[in-house]
Chains A and B, each alone.
Chain A
Amino acid sequence: MTEKFTKVSFSNLDKVLYPKLKITKAQFIEYYIKIAPKMLPFLAERPLVLTRYPNGLDKEGFYEKDAPQGMPNWVKTVKLYSETAKRNVNYILCNDLDTLIWLANLVAIEIHMPLSRLDAREKPDFAFFDIDPEPPATYEDASTVALSLKEKLDQLGLKSYVKTSGKKGFHVLIPILREPTFKETRAFVHQIGQQLAKEMEIVVSEFIDTKKPNKVFVDYTQNSHGRTMVCPYSLRGTPEATVSTPLDWSDVKKKIKPAEFTIFSVPSLKKDPWKDIFENRQKLEAK
């Protein structure tokens, strides 16, 4: 029966992955199947990093870059030198539905993607602002900062897109033409962060200040070769099964709670706020 639709054969479907909400592996895989049409365009041609919890969230999870042993021969991988691991790593590429389902069957709860694609790894196609509130600062503070950032980017004539991080913060992205290097996008994001920090008491822009309480860090550091961002529509390893969810800016204005976007609610969202993101690649000029 399954062979008709997917090459993947499922295992342990009744295993509970999210103990607090009693979400089973079947429900988990179903989420990734349902969200695939929206998610797959972001995954294509990017060597992925996974956070796997094969025995559920209350058991040990691990980061995984290397494709696991004994994987089926139709899964595409690419051998690359990892700066952080200091060795060659066999990365998984997810260019099709079957691979995404296979990843779900491996209980890759979180799927992280680099900001550049395989054919030009040094040239990112996104500039990425990670807006991360440090308690007692909340998502509301983070949304205020995100909105100020949007305004700033609007003034520069840059169209930006926002998603929840799936935790407390927001991710703001500018889809760009692949001209500048990571060094240049990083400098650009850092510079905007510094401007915001000057204008807003609550914002910090320097890595050293990340853990300052009640501040919102506009993180530029992920704009680097070998670094990753949690993929749009990826689930997070939170007890509430939250999702990193693309939003309309109007939702952020309404101070919509990131916690509302979960494995249960996201598949039924009608709109696709990032639908045109790949048609809006913009020229980012180093200032």
Chain B
Amino acid sequence: MEKKPTKAKKQQALTTEKPSDKTEKTEKAKTAPVSRRPFWTGSITIGLINVPIKLYAMIYDRGVSFHFLHKTDNQPLRYEKVCTKDNKIVPWPEVVKGYEVTKSQFVVFGKEELEAVKPESDRRIRIDKFVDYFSVDPIYFYNSYALMPDKSNDAYNLLLQSLEKMGKAAAGRITLRTKEYPALVHAYKGSLVLTTMRYSYDVVDPSTFEELKELKTPEKAELDLAKKIITDLSGEFDITEYKDTYRQKVEELIKKKLKGEAIVIEKPPKEEVKGLMAALQETLKQLEKK
């Protein structure tokens, strides 16, 4: 498993710890983290043309994370590798990697052996061809990075403007750390963005599920009713309408804890009741107005 998001998070932590950033710990900076350090540098290669670029993280997983502590003295805990045979802690130099062939049968690799076959990043985003951006199935999108010019403003801008005007994306490959990804370079909000992609064999075709074979064609009346409901509830999709309420609640709790307030654990209402409460609040508001 690649752990891109984790890496991005670490980097964010690094940048916010920098003294120059401390003054900017505003709410805005919190919601729009900008990594100041490029995550990768190299160039976009289209035939004989090279556009030097820097890659910055732009997708963050901003869930709540906790540390494990020792209950008796609140000291952080760390993981140790323990031998399953004698339960003794094994120091790092004594660790090797094993690929499980059959149950408890391993092929063993030393660090150097795997290093030798790792794909080498040649610091290039190799472009094979240009495609219509909207023709690419977004199910394959994996992660996105902001691309910034690296003393290549003119070439960068030319590529950006032409992709934007034509609605095209450059399709190619990139090696990040030790993995090669299919990738798209495309225009997004006035910037070039690199989107790494999954391989086709990493995505299951849902139509192969048995459950779908039992589906019957709905009656026309039912379809009409469903259409009506969908039309009534149709609108523009706005991602900002969705909030991570768990994170918000935990942040509130953290604030209260820091202030030393006692926290009353409320029994969470069932999902259905929540919907009713939201409707009730709206109705009470309307009745008050009358």
Contact = CB atoms under 8 A, between A and B. Distances in A.
Interface of A: 1-2, 5-6, 10, 13-14, 21, 24, 26, 29-30, 33-34, 36-37, 40, 97, 101, 240, 260, 262, 264-265, 268
Given A1-B266, A37-B290, A260-B228, A97 B276 contact: no
Nearest to B288: A37
14 contacts: A1-B273, A2-B277, A6-B280, A10-B276, A13-B276, A30-B275, A30-B276, A33-B276, A33-B279, A34-B279, A34-B282, A37-B283, A37-B287, A97-B283
A163 B43 CA distance: 69
A268 B287 CA distance: 17
B270 interface: yes
Contact of B229 (A6, A10, A26, A264): A264
Contacts of A265: 228-229, 232
Interface in B151-179: none
Interface of B: 225, 228-229, 232-233, 266, 269-270, 272-273, 275-277, 279-284, 286-287, 290
Contacts of B290: 37
Given A34-B279, A37-B287, A264-B232, 19 more contacts: A1-B269, A2-B277, A10-B273, A13-B270, A13-B272, A13-B273, A13-B276, A21-B225, A24-B272, A29-B276, A33-B276, A40-B287, A97-B284, A260-B228, A264-B228, A264-B229, A265-B232, A268-B232, A268-B233
User: Which of B232, B269, B276, B279 lies at the interface centre, i.e. has the most chain A CB atoms within 10 A of its CB?
Assistant: B276
A33 B266 CA distance: 24
A30 B266 contact: no
A262 B279 CA distance: 18
Contacts of B281: 5
A147 to B, nearest CB: 24
Q: Which 10 A-B pairs rank lowest in CB-CB distance, beginning with the nearest?
A: A26-B272, A13-B272, A37-B286, A33-B279, A5-B280, A264-B229, A1-B269, A30-B279, A265-B232, A36-B283
Contacts of B287: 36-37, 40, 97
Nearest to A21: B225
Nearest to B267: A1
A93 B286 CA distance: 22
A14 B228 contact: no
Given A1-B273, A10-B276, A33 B283 contact: yes
A10 B228 CA distance: 30
A66 B274 CA distance: 32
A43 to B, nearest CB: 13
B263 to A, nearest CB: 16
A26 B279 CA distance: 11
B226 to A, nearest CB: 9
A260 B272 CA distance: 26
A60 to B, nearest CB: 25
A29 B283 CA distance: 13
B276 A26 contact: yes
Nearest to A41: B290
A1 B277 contact: yes
Nearest to A260: B228
Nearest to A29: B276
